[in-house]
Amino acid sequence: MQCRCPHSVLCVLTRRDLRQRWRSGPGRCVSTAIKDEITADYICSVHRRSVLKVRRIANWVCAFFLVVGFVIVSSRWIDQPLSKYLFTHFELRSAFEHAHVDLPIMLIIAAICVVGGGVYWFWCGQWAKAVAVGTASGLALLLSGCLVSVLLKPLFARAVPVVFLAGGGYGFHWLHGGDGLDSFPSGHSAQMAAVLSVLWTYYPRARWGYLAIFAALAGSLIVGQWHFLSDTVAGGFVGALVGQLTILVARALKILPGASCVVSEQWPGAPPE
């Protein structure tokens, strides 16, 4: 039986040591050898999980610095000329500007998903795949919306493009949130990215579609003069991070299975679809 993580020196040495012990003790029973094999597999799996966790953390740290760098560059050299160009040359701008809906449709859908998932679990006593993913997506949407609206927007207090185009100033007004100073980060981008982040993990076959949906949303927000380019990028990062943290919490609460079940499509205790 070969080690599943061949790049791990620890796993290779452990398995080699067990094989030498098997050869040196020909009188050992088969059950003991099986136990040692299971022990080696367990050590390999633990080491593999620890390596994956370190890589994920490193990837998120790198992504954070990349987003910060892009926001600095975009707010300094891209956002203003792009906003002016779209305001002057884009003929369909008015259609996007007047498409604003006061009713928080996304938050209502998220609340329905969370409440519906709770009712389903209370009634059936177990989670189905679609219900579990929908509940986690709704929870991620609510958390990202609250984080952006309550904490991040008042903290950065960036002027919206409409204020900038009207000559009301440009930039960040730290800790002075209010009307017209809630552009960064984009709440709609964060909420959409939070939902797509959960779907990205549990329904990976449609990832190109998720990217297209997010790009369409971000483009409409920029063209409609609701947000700058850097607002949507920062909102997307915040939403994706919240979505992944929601998955960790859902797995800890046994709402969602671990990564191995995602690959094999095995949902312990879930009814067949």
- pLDDT, tens digit, 9 for 90 and up, residues 105-136: 667 777 777 777 777 766 776 667 778 888 89
> Quick one: pLDDT at residue 194?
95
Q: What is the per-residue pLDDT for 96?
A: 60
Q: Is the pTM above the cut of 0.85?
A: no
Average pLDDT over residues 200-219: 92
pLDDT at 260 over 80: no
Provide mean pLDDT across the span 24-43: 54
Which of the four pLDDT bands, split at 50, 70 and 90, describes residue 143? very high
Better pLDDT: 115 or 82: 82
In sequence order, which residues have a C-beta less than 8 Å from that of residue 220 and are 6 or more positions away? Answer: 96, 99
pLDDT at 190: 95
Side chain identity, residue 66: L
